[in-house]
C-alpha cells in the first residue's frame, strides 16, 4: 500500500454521482436476484452499445488520436479515461476512474463491466475494424482496483 491508496479510495468512493448511487445499487440488487449473470452481462453490453451510439467518434488515423477522441467523450460525462496499447496480436484497452464499479457494487463487476465491451466494440466497429476482432474483458490484473477495467481487442477465437 502506497500513500496514494487512501486518496484513490476516497476518489473512487465519491466517483458515482450521489443522485444515482443508491438507485444503481438497488437496480443491481434487483437484477442479481432476477436474472442469471450472463443475461445481466448481455444487458450491460447492449447499454454500452447504445450509450456510445449517442457519443460518436470521428475516424482516426492513429491509436493516439483515437485515445484522445474516446477520452473527450468519456470526460464529458465524468466516466474516467482509457489507455490504448498495442501488444503483439492484440490491443489492450485499460479503462480507469469510471463510476461503474461504485455504482453497481463489487458483486456486480463481473457483469456490469460488459458495458465497456459493448461500448468499445461499437466504437471500434465504427472505425472499420475487421468483424472478427472482438472486444472482451481480459483476465483481471492482480491487485486490480475496482475502478480499473482491462479489455482486449483480438480475434474472437483468441
- Which residues lie near a second copy (CB under 8 A)? 2, 4-8, 10-11, 14-27, 29-30, 34, 43, 46-47, 50-51, 54-55, 75-81, 96-97, 99, 147
Show the 3-state SS of the chain: CCCHHHHHHHHHHHCCCHHHHHHHHHHHHHHHHHCCHHHHHHHHHHHHHHHHHCCCCCCCCCHHHHHHHHHHHHHHCCCCEEEEEEECCEEEEEEECCCHHHHHCHHHHHHHCHHHHHHHHHHHHHCCCCCCEEEEECCCCCCCCCCEEEEEEEECCC
Q: Specify the residue, 11 or 132, whose C-beta has the smaller distance to a second copy.
A: 11
CB 143 → a second copy: shortest distance, Å? Answer: 10
Q: Specify the residue, 19 or 61, whose C-beta has the smaller distance to a second copy.
A: 19
CB 48 → a second copy: shortest distance, Å? Answer: 8
Q: Specify the residue, 79 or 124, whose C-beta has the smaller distance to a second copy.
A: 79
CB 58 → a second copy: shortest distance, Å? Answer: 19
CB 155 → a second copy: shortest distance, Å? Answer: 28
Apex CA 153: angle with CA 117 and CA 42, to 5°?
Answer: 20
Q: Specify the residue, 94 or 133, whose C-beta has the smaller distance to a second copy.
A: 94
Q: Specify the residue, 75 or 132, whose C-beta has the smaller distance to a second copy.
A: 75
CB 132 → a second copy: shortest distance, Å? Answer: 26
Amino acid at each position: 500500500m502506497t500513500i496514494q491508496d487512501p486518496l484513490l479510495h476516497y476518489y473512487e468512493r465519491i466517483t458515482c454521482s450521489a443522485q444515482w448511487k443508491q438507485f444503481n445499487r438497488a437496480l443491481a440488487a434487483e437484477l442479481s436476484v432476477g436474472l442469471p449473470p450472463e443475461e445481466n452481462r448481455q444487458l450491460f453490453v447492449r447499454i454500452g452499445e447504445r450509450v456510445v451510439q449517442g457519443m460518436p467518434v470521428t475516424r482516426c488515423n492513429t491509436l493516439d488520436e483515437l485515445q484522445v477522441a474516446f477520452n473527450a467523450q468519456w470526460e464529458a460525462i465524468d466516466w474516467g479515461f482509457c489507455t490504448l496499447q498495442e501488444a503483439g496480436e492484440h490491443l489492450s484497452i485499460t479503462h480507469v476512474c469510471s463510476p461503474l464499479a461504485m455504482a453497481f457494487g463489487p458483486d456486480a463487476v463481473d457483469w456490469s463491466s460488459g458495458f465497456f465491451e459493448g461500448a468499445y466494440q461499437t466504437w471500434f466497429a465504427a472505425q472499420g475494424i475487421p468483424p472478427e476482432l472482438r472486444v472482451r474483458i481480459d483476465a483481471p490484473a492482480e491487485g486490480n482496483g475496482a475502478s480499473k477495467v482491462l479489455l482486449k481487442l483480438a480475434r474472437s477465437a483468441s
